[in-house]
Structure 1
């Protein structure tokens, strides 16, 4: 037990079979595992999920986050015996997660119809680039492709440069999050009816879902959002401003908050200036207003600006690095980052499990499986009744 006070999570008693690889499927499994579900990850024999080798720098630590709270069994899903092992495990599960190209499960004899015939209450979360239907459904699709098609990439970055990306795999994470959300909704439906169903989460649709009024703006006004760098056009002031010792984010676009910012800057008259008197006016004069605020912040340190923002109740904050997070009292007070005792990585820290539930807290209850198939004996033995000789025979034929 790493965090959570020993209490069972909200999904305690729910069994999840995770057949996905890389990010989208496994992140969905991470979320469900954090909430207390038993997550059994099926990996190919040998190297396992490629995420085991992903990361930046000298060490590969991404796996430790995305595979926490999971057990690992190995099965070669490209051979009938491996497919049969998976089918038997899925028959005893509540949720199946997969993020293969559409049609792959069907090719392996594991179609939703086949699985539901044996386990009618099964919830099948299928994460893919374009969804399970439509003319693009059989195309390969990674997170970046979904970000581009869903509209995200086109509006991120500076206007005089090509579209940028975030420093994280946001398309994959969004699709996984919607897959998790769909699974929870499907569990509620199953509680009422006993019926399982398919949750179809497409990367491009998950991105599209968070694009606010991008499509309505175009459909009604013909307005196309464009790349604007560090600010949103018409929302002012709300930007990152330079201080003597770094950058600081201030969001004071609401009229009353802007008035308080003017007081903090020692220029209360700006609040009644016709150029800045309301949201619309500030939007029209956004560039010059940002320049004016930047001229002020340049004369102060971050600590000095922050003290004024707190005094005047203005939403603002530092632009954090990992070092800042580890030193910050707010992170510490809420255990937002936790120490994870680990046999290999001394001093390992990572983000805790969110959101926070008061009665059934999510938690990091176990570290990521260190060996592919390390739980073969426990899982295949307890759930499928396979003995050590049978497992040895399957291993000798590279089935597990």
Structure 2
């Protein structure tokens, strides 16, 4: 039975073999909902994200979120003793998550086929730039490259300027979420096809069917690109950069109010468009038969956007929000983190958690999403110190204090 107090994934063992963003974010989401995640890190500094962006006492504030609820085990995987420890953990895990370049784990005898031969229920989530096959599989591929190849960068920005990036590592994060989805589907299949491996071989082996979840960063981004392919294949249309507007869906754009604030207005539903035009005193456009449906509005995008912008210029951000929300038009200001942390909606939804570092310094973290009514996610501890769980994990594998001390002396952990 699942312990609902510990989360829906309580009892699920996860081994994380990855660094930076995609693999660790995938494992983080499983840890947030109760999975027992052991993160393997190099003894020489650990995951590089520990030193990224804003630091506290030499450790990234990002780390407190990215590694929450995980156990840190240091292993020098170039050492065969470390490889043996990792293999034992992998064979006992329900899910293995890795984001090395294809072929690296195979050198250490930790590849999917090598583990599957020992444990047929092995589920391995493999996140890489280009996937495990194809002519580009061995090339390094970070999220920025996946965003570019997957089509997101091409459509981001203004038509008269070079493409821009979203201000976060969205390619990695989208790939991580695809990894979580794939892991959950693979776990479901394993369980209905026989269940967890009993650790035995031959006729005594009772196990469901495991599988590899092959996640390519560029494909994860590509999966978000809506109607890009059929539009080009059928109509020869290449979607281009359109700034703050949503192309072919009118009106949906960013406008500037008289006090210099930016406001997003999405009046693209047919009934919503009419309410919007009446709210901005453009009854003529609301009654125009050509503008009743979106396909009629698209040729007149500039006219419609001009009318909305002219009205916004006469309003403050607060007055514009009040008028349009009163007319039941989807509208919103563009939030910075400062706006978020003061906003009644964020606060009502409890989207911030109060915690403290080891020295007692308070810190807020983003709350866990999605919100499950019966088995919500929980932060049990912040991202741990490097190797904080070495003794605990190794003792569970049968190593005594002397053996652990020797591994530490030899640089294995």
Which residue of 218, 235, 238 corresponds with 1:224? 238
Cα deviation, residue 233, structure 1: 2.0
Gap runs ≥5 in structure 2: 194-207
For the 8 Å contact 1:234–1:284, the answer to whether it is kept is no
C-alpha RMSD over aligned residues: 1.6
Provide closer, same or farther for how the CA distance between residues 110 and 64 of structure 1 changes in structure 2, counting only shifts above 3 A: same
Tell me the TM-score normalised to structure 2 length: 0.92
Q: Does 1:163 find its partner at 2:163?
A: yes
For the 8 Å contact 2:174–2:220, the answer to whether it is kept is yes
CA deviation profile, 1:290-323 (whole Å, cap 9, x unmatched): 1221111111111111111221111111111111
Name the residue aligned to 1:207: 221
Cα deviation, residue 89, structure 1: 1.1
Cα deviation, residue 81, structure 1: 1.1
Give the whole-Å Cα distance in 1 for the aligned partners of 2:330 and 2:227.
24
Aligned residue-pair number: 394
Give the whole-Å Cα distance in 2 for the aligned partners of 1:323 and 1:52.
24
1:104-253 correspondence runs (5 A): 104-193=104-193, 194-245=208-259, 246-253=261-268
Name the residue aligned to 1:3: none
Runs of 4+ with deviation above 6 angstroms: none
Which residue of 352, 374, 389 corresponds with 1:375? 389
Structure 1 window deviating more from structure 2 (55-64 vs 222-231): it is 55-64
Which residue of 264, 267, 270 corresponds with 1:255? 270
Partner SS, residue 162 of structure 1: coil
Tell me the TM-score normalised to structure 1 length: 0.95
1:1-400 correspondence runs (5 A): 7-56=5-54, 60-193=60-193, 194-245=208-259, 246-274=261-289, 276-344=291-359, 346-369=361-384, 371-382=385-396, 384-400=397-413
Give the whole-Å Cα distance in 1 for the aligned partners of 2:305 and 2:61.
39
For the 8 Å contact 2:55–2:61, the answer to whether it is kept is no
Partner SS, residue 314 of structure 1: coil
Give the whole-Å Cα distance in 2 for the aligned partners of 1:354 and 1:57.
25
The structure with higher relative contact order (CA 8 Å, sep 6+) is 1
Give the whole-Å Cα distance in 2 for the aligned partners of 1:135 and 1:62.
34
Gap runs ≥5 in structure 1: 1-5
Cα deviation, residue 56, structure 1: 4.2
Partner SS, residue 195 of structure 1: coil
Cα deviation, residue 343, structure 1: 2.3
Give the whole-Å Cα distance in 2 for the aligned partners of 1:123 and 1:57.
35
Give the whole-Å Cα distance in 2 for the aligned partners of 1:359 and 1:266.
47
Cα deviation, residue 268, structure 1: 2.2
Give the whole-Å Cα distance in 2 for the aligned partners of 1:127 and 1:247.
37
Name the residue aligned to 2:202: none
Give the whole-Å Cα distance in 1 for the aligned partners of 2:360 and 2:315.
40
CA deviation profile, 1:257-289 (whole Å, cap 9, x unmatched): 011112211222221225633312221111221
Cα deviation, residue 22, structure 1: 0.7
